[in-house]
Structure 1
């Protein structure tokens, strides 16, 4: 059985780099340029998995220099899927516990392929809220906030792609020392209205984790 070590955002990053390499093969005739892009692609992908992590089959990526045809690239990406790790499969009970104060909590479709999730996100049209479930350092956490559609395309802070976005605003749990009972701190940013598309685009979870820390810590 293959060791599962590629997370969804890793796979998206690799797919993006491999796509760039494939386009280079198709459009660039200068051999030195092609070799430079190929070496850069391999280096960037290998950087995702530091040497300190034992058991990671890096030989999987050493085949990159041999990729040339469209079939080669397609087969390479398909071969990675068997090494992808699942996002934790949360249950309806777990979700209700995470958002226990929300009595009319809508439950998202949980019959999905969890390999292609970096986070679970869904909105409630009735309440104007957006919900996020994330695996933060091995702990499943939930975050909810108000969502205001921008009615236009813009850059999502999570995936850094231009999609239909909305302003997501959550109230931070942190409080200033000796603050009044009425004190609260709102944290906001623009994110994708469609979390499925966001999960297809995300190549780095740093921005998402930073935002979650701001809200929950």
Structure 2
């Protein structure tokens, strides 16, 4: 019996590959091209699940044999019972993650669907601060930093999609040996202003996890 095993970013990747195959089936008449896309999309999906069991792989492969829009939608719907969610957060947990911020403004957690997010992100416009909470190696990690809106679209370093972005700059806790007490280093990247859009687009957590490691300075966390 299959249990939930598809994380949000993995479902996004499946959705993207299914959409690519569906578009190919609808617009390309050359069977060799269609077959090539079937193989390519299936390969990309399976590569996102290196530890998948045989039963899980069978489920993941099914879309590659489909043809019509209705079939592809039914397939995506059939994956819903196998999607996981990150462990729901409570306000007190968020405050513990950011102990130095006495008046932390937290999002309304009752509106968050923890199955549809890879990370929890929100902004405090009054202080120009952006907050990220991500579950890494079994525990939540909180990162906060300054964000500078660009008021234009750009490529987000987390989801690699064109969205409205801001420059997010966080001070790393990592220090080189013999660093002076006042040493600090900021790490900056352009990321989505709207974390909901980012969570719908993200298909890989490698950049997110590298960023978390680089900022926290704890490569064993």
TM range (shorter): over 0.9
Distance in 1 between residues matched to 2:14 and 2:64, nearest whole Å: 14
Question: Which deviations, in whole Å up to 9, do the C-alpha atoms of 1:86-145 show, x marking residues without a partner?
Answer: 012111010000001101111112122111110000000111100000011111110000
Superposed displacement of residue 213, structure 1: 0.6
Superposed displacement of residue 176, structure 1: 2.0
1:172-211 equivalence runs, <5 A = 172-211=172-211
Distance in 1 between residues matched to 2:73 and 2:104, nearest whole Å: 41
1:41–1:185 distance in 2 versus 1, CA, 3 Å? same
Equivalent position of 1:94 in the other structure: 93
Equivalent position of 2:169 in the other structure: 169
Equivalent position of 1:126 in the other structure: 126
Superposed displacement of residue 66, structure 1: 2.8
Tell me, yes or no, if the aligned pair for 1:12 and 1:200 is still in contact at 8 Å: yes
**2:24 is the alignment partner of 1:20:** no
Equivalent position of 1:135 in the other structure: 135
Distance in 2 between residues matched to 1:80 and 1:54, nearest whole Å: 16
| Matched residue SS, 2:72 | helix
Runs of 4+ in 1 over 3 A off after TM superposition: 52-56
Distance in 1 between residues matched to 2:67 and 2:52, nearest whole Å: 29
Superposed displacement of residue 61, structure 1: 2.2
**2:69 is the alignment partner of 1:73:** no
Tell me, yes or no, if the aligned pair for 1:172 and 1:184 is still in contact at 8 Å: yes
1:152–1:117 distance in 2 versus 1, CA, 3 Å? same
TM-score, normalised by the number of residues in structure 1: 0.96
Question: Which deviations, in whole Å up to 9, do the C-alpha atoms of 1:49-106 show, x marking residues without a partner?
Answer: 12x4447522112322331111101010111111011012111010000001101111
TM-score, normalised by the number of residues in structure 2: 0.94
Tell me, yes or no, if the aligned pair for 1:124 and 1:130 is still in contact at 8 Å: yes
1:46-65 equivalence runs, <5 A = 46-50=46-50, 52-54=51-53, 57-65=56-64
Tell me, yes or no, if the aligned pair for 2:2 and 2:55 is still in contact at 8 Å: no
1:105-120 equivalence runs, <5 A = 105-111=104-110, 112-120=112-120
Distance in 2 between residues matched to 1:177 and 1:56, nearest whole Å: 49
Superposed displacement of residue 46, structure 1: 1.3
Stretches of structure 2 lacking an aligned partner (at least 5 in a row): none
Residues paired across the two proteins, number: 216
Aligned alpha-carbon RMSD (Å): 1.3
1:65–1:170 distance in 2 versus 1, CA, 3 Å? closer
Distance in 1 between residues matched to 2:108 and 2:72, nearest whole Å: 32
